[in-house]
Amino acid sequence: MAPELLELALTHRSWAYEHGGVANNERLEFLGDSILGQAVTVMLYTSYPHLDEGDLAKRRASLVSAVALSEVARGIGLGAHLKLGKGEELTGGRDKSSILADTVEAIIGATYIDLGGEAATTLVLHLIAPLLADPDRFGAAMDPKTSLQELAARRGHGVPIYELSDTGPDHSKRFTATVVLGGESIASGEGTSKKQAEMAAALEAWTVLSARRPSTPSA
């Protein structure tokens, strides 16, 4: 990919604003979102002939969600390469699910512009392959809150509690959700809606809990 196009795909609006309103990655994100949806739709349709329309729609929604795309971004270390403004840098923008997901879409859009549709589709399928290869994680990405609740119940942790906070003006709020299990804060997530923040937090908590060795019940 042309270096200048890749640089544009990595440029968040906060960086562009602080540097005189130069171009940012939002147009590429718009394009990449469409390409991502089409590539995932065709892949699911051809790979899962036994699924009906409703199940296909659920799987597509999960794979193109901000939660899933941010997981993809973290898996390839994308956050380290973002061009962020000082404000976003100070508030942990390099690990914000929404920023990471948008940047993945921008890179898909840039790939389409520079290398064509076939290359962009190949990139999409490569990026989502880790989710498809791990049935547990794929299920968690599809419905992270239910997956976390089921895992917590199996581990004897009780029902997850979501503590919410928000920042910013009414027209541009950002929400943060923290998952609490048995009085312990397990993980946090953020998003542009309460639902998105809770889903991001739930998937992160599921990941943390899955990595822990199950405790041995006391006699």
Per-residue pLDDT in tens (0 to 9) along the chain, 219 residues? 899 999 999 999 999 999 988 999 999 999 999 999 999 999 999 999 999 999 898 888 888 888 788 888 988 999 999 999 998 888 888 988 889 999 999 999 999 999 999 999 999 999 998 888 777 777 777 788 988 999 999 989 899 999 999 988 887 788 999 999 989 999 998 888 898 889 889 988 988 888 877 664 443
pLDDT computed for residue 122 by the predictor: 97
| Binding-site residues from annotation for Mg(2+) | 29, 102, 105
For residue 142, CA distances in Å to 6, 47, 108, 136, 159 come to 29, 17, 21, 10, 19
Residues marked active site are found at 33, 105
pLDDT computed for residue 70 by the predictor: 84
Other CB atoms within a 10 A radius of the CB of residue 163 amount to 12
* Strands of the sheet with 184-191, listed across from one edge: 161-167, 174-181, 184-191
215 phi-psi bin (left φ>0, alpha ψ -120 to 50, beta other):
beta
pLDDT computed for residue 168 by the predictor: 84
Place of tokens 């879409």: 105
User: Exposed (0-12), middle (13-18) or buried (19+): which is 130, by Cβ within 10 Å?
Assistant: middle
pLDDT computed for residue 219 by the predictor: 36
pLDDT computed for residue 215 by the predictor: 60
pLDDT computed for residue 14 by the predictor: 93
Residue 80, Cα to own-chain centre: how many angstroms? Answer: 16
